[in-house]
A and B are shown apart, each in its own frame.
Chain A
């Protein structure tokens, strides 16, 4: 079993839809939870990070962490074609140097 599981998709939705991306994990020591966006042929860029459980909102993006279920989500509201990219979840133990990535979900927003 992988430490972090993420459905690779692909996921295709119409413009304006609400998108839900999810990851599950097995290591209860993870405390930092990140979502990266990676456009084709580019490096990943950090969208949001959350420490421990709870919700965090930034514009059209909301990140949720449920540590009891070992489940994290990223919601994108009013999705735009420019949101088309691969979304990677990543997690880290406090004090550790290593990020553990999910497989990445390829998302396409259709105009």
Chain B
């Protein structure tokens, strides 16, 4: 299984709602990532988890709250979002977050398309 799955595929939420995005991989990878991608822009890194611990937070607003319950799962909890947060949210995983001698390919999921009204 070389797939990263993400649910839901689409999500529409109001600014007062609380929702969660889910990501799962069964490749035995120990690093997982959240990216945000606006239309016609490259992915922007939000968070990195390495061995289930948060290792990078790219100064993301606290209305985005990541969680890594185990090595296969990654969640992104959303609360009090703004319309400008509407984007494609991509999850990725790699064997390890960093390794001195080897490149670790990041496998991306299909993304959740989020619309904030």
Contact = CB atoms under 8 A, between A and B. Distances in A.
Contacts of B99: 95
A1 interface: no
Interface in B22-43: 31, 40-43
Interface string A39-77: 001111110010100000000000000000000000000
A101 B45 CA distance: 10
B45 A98 contact: yes
Contacts of A8: 40
B56 A97 contact: yes
B43 A44 contact: yes
If over half of A's interface residues share one DSSP class (helix, strand or loop), that class is named, otherwise mixed; here it is loop
Q: How large is the interface on B (under 10, 10 to 19, 20 to 34, 35 or more residues)?
A: 20 to 34
Given A43-B90, A95-B98, A97-B50, A104 B105 contact: no
Interface in A4-46: 8, 32, 36, 41-46
B113 interface: yes
A95 B110 contact: no
Contacts of A46: 105-107
Given A8-B40, A95-B98, A95-B100, A43 B109 contact: yes
A49 B106 CA distance: 11
B42 A104 contact: yes
Interface in B53-99: 55-56, 88, 90, 92, 97-99
A49 B42 contact: no
Contacts of B4: 43
B21 interface: no
Ranked nearest first, the 8 interchain pairs of A and B with the lowest CB-CB distance are: A43-B108, A101-B42, A97-B97, A32-B103, A44-B108, A43-B110, A97-B98, A95-B98
